[in-house]
């Protein structure tokens, strides 16, 4: 990331760390703390870059502001293969190098390549319960994936959007890209609401049935077989990975990885509504094309912010002897996701702008107000 990419919002701090003994390379990006301390997940992947982590830290700035919770944007990344037998050694080296930042400036969390056990290792390495959230329930953590907070919030966003568009959720056909923690929980909740899941995918392929998939069956198969569950589908129902984005449906939920919907795909999507379960799955040009085709997009930092709501509960409970109440978390997630989805889509209609632009305006106004109150707005230089 070059210095010219810094802007009025941040990043405020980029800390690169390395350990020659283990080969660890990592980075911490604190984007904007005007509304509170930096908070965002920690990612481990072989191709992690500073630019990628900075981009995700900025998403966290907008997520926290959009759900109106008082933390700022941050993200950390470790360039390492999370399947490596040296994962723990590398992780411990990473947090040791950032001991002056964790948890004073940053609290580690879960993202790609990181598990609850890894969060526990971070706490152990620094000897501080406050060093990480996302630890196992047995250590007082919030079971994000078990209760499915992010996916549950995505489903509530879908329901709110369909209601605003005067379409019933019951009977609406849903395609879910990514049957991991987010997509699985979204499919489960939407099934409860009467929607019909017609397609789902994993890294091993995709399954499609225009008459609707048996969601409880696929939940059970996913739990037993992981990503390989899709191979159990009859040949007639198997489709190539990626084709789930193009099936005929009312709602498409990209809940896998970023940068999957480009202009080419946007011209072929047959859904009426796209609700982003993953971070940054749709390019700006694709969003514009979808809007021109009458397809609304509920942006990631509105639809998938259930995880940050749960993280806020976890942050508050780090030093408490009591576990956070899952029922309270889920109720808050549902309320926040529904309210923000309706607010953003309504504002989008009123102003004739893309939903992402409406959401960005909401988040930026909140961050800018906080920056002004703290005296952090950029100085306006007088003309000479």
Active site residue 231: no
- How far, in Å, CA of 274 to CA of 174, rounded? 10
Label residue 5 by pLDDT band (50, 70, 90): confident
- Asked whether the beta carbons of 42 and 109 are under 8 A apart, the reply is yes
ω before 103 within 30° of 0 (cis)? yes
pLDDT of residue 381: 56
- How far, in Å, CA of 135 to CA of 73, rounded? 20
Q: What is the pLDDT of residues 325-341, one digit of tens each?
A: 899 999 999 999 999 99
pLDDT of residue 147: 86
pLDDT beyond 70 at 380: no
What is the overall mean pLDDT for the chain? 93
What DSSP assignment string belongs to 94-123?
A: HHHHTTTTTTTTEEB-B-TT--HHHHHHHH
pLDDT of residue 217: 97
- How far, in Å, CA of 176 to CA of 111, rounded? 20
Cα separations in angstroms, 7 against 141, 249, 354, 372, 384 = 35, 40, 22, 16, 23
Token duo for residue 222: 């996913």
pLDDT beyond 50 at 375: yes
- How far, in Å, CA of 341 to CA of 302, rounded? 6
Candidate ranges 194-198, 275-279, 280-284; pick with highest mean pLDDT: 194-198
Strand-pair partners of 113: none
Q: Is 199 helix (H, G, I), strand (E, B) or coil?
A: strand
Mean pLDDT confidence for 176-199: 96
Torsion of CA 276, 64, 27, 25, to 10 degrees: -50
Q: What is the pLDDT of residues 285-294, one digit of tens each?
A: 999 999 999 9
Please provide the distance, in angstroms rounded to a whole number, between the alpha carbons at the two ends of the chain: 32
- Asked whether the beta carbons of 129 and 123 are under 8 A apart, the reply is yes
Pairing of strands 72-79, 13-19: unpaired
- How far, in Å, CA of 275 to CA of 304, rounded? 9
Q: What is the pLDDT of residues 24-48, one digit of tens each?
A: 999 999 999 999 999 999 999 999 9
Is the alpha carbon torsion for 102, 106, 107, 110 positive or negative?
negative
| φ/ψ (deg, to 5) at 238 | -90, 135
Label residue 145 by pLDDT band (50, 70, 90): confident
Q: What is the pLDDT of residues 69-122, one digit of tens each?
A: 999 999 999 999 999 999 999 999 999 999 999 999 999 998 889 999 999 999
Catalytic residue among 39, 75, 146, 231: 75
Q: Which of 69, 67, 65, 87 is nearest to 78 (CA)?
A: 87
Q: What is the DSSP letter of 243?
A: G
Strand-pair partners of 18: 25
Q: What is the pLDDT of residues 204-223, one digit of tens each?
A: 999 999 999 999 999 999 99
Token duo for residue 210: 């225009």
pLDDT of residue 173: 98
Q: What is the DSSP letter of 261?
A: B
- Asked whether the beta carbons of 11 and 30 are under 8 A apart, the reply is yes
- Asked whether the beta carbons of 61 and 31 are under 8 A apart, the reply is yes
- Asked whether the beta carbons of 125 and 92 are under 8 A apart, the reply is yes
pLDDT of residue 384: 46
Gyration radius of the chain over CA positions: 21
- What are the residues whose beta carbons fall under 8 Å from the beta carbon of 140, sequence distance 6 or more? 129, 317, 320, 321, 322, 323
pLDDT beyond 90 at 280: no
Mean pLDDT confidence for 2-24: 91
More reliable by pLDDT, 59 or 75: 75
Mean pLDDT confidence for 366-371: 97
């Amino acid at each position: 990331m070059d210095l010219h990419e810094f802007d009025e919002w941040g990043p405020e701090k980029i800390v690169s760390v390395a350990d020659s003994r283990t080969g660890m390379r990592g980075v911490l990006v604190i984007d904007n703390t005007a509304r509170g301390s930096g908070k965002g997940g920690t990612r481990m992947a072989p191709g992690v870059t500073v630019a990628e982590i900075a981009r995700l830290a900025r998403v966290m700035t907008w997520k926290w502001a959009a759900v109106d919770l008082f933390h700022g944007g941050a993200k950390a990344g470790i360039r390492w293969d999370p399947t490596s037998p040296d994962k723990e050694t590398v992780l411990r080296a990473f947090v040791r190098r950032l001991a002056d930042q964790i948890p004073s400036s940053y609290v580690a969390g879960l993202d790609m390549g990181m598990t609850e056990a890894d969060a526990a290792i971070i706490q152990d390495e620094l000897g501080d319960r406050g060093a990480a959230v996302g630890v196992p329930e047995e250590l007082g953590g919030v079971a994000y994936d078990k209760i499915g907070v992010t996916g549950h919030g995505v489903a509530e966003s879908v329901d709110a959007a369909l209601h605003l568009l005067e379409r019933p959720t019951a009977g609406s056909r849903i395609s879910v890209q990514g049957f991991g923690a987010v997509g699985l929980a979204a499919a489960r909740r939407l099934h409860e609401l009467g929607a019909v899941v017609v397609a789902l995918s994993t890294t091993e392929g995709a399954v499609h049935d225009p008459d609707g998939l048996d969601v409880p069956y696929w939940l059970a198969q996913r739990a037993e077989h992981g990503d390989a569950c899709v191979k159990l589908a009859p040949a007639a129902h198997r489709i190539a990975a990626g084709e789930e984005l193009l099936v005929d449906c009312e709602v498409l939920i990209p809940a896998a990885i970023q940068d999957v919907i480009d202009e080419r795909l946007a011209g072929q999507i047959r859904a009426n509504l796209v609700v982003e379960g993953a971070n940054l799955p749709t390019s700006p040009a694709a969003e514009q094309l979808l809007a021109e085709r009458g397809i609304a997009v509920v942006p990631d930092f509105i639809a998938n912010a259930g995880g940050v709501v749960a993280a806020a509960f976890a942050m508050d409970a780090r030093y408490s002897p009591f576990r956070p109440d899952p029922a309270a978390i889920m109720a808050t997630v549902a309320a926040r996701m529904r309210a923000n989805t309706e607010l953003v889509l309504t504002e989008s209609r009123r102003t004739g702008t893309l939903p992402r632009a409406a959401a960005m305006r909401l988040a930026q106004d909140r961050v800018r107000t906080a920056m002004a109150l703290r005296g952090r707005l950029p100085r306006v230089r007088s003309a000479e």
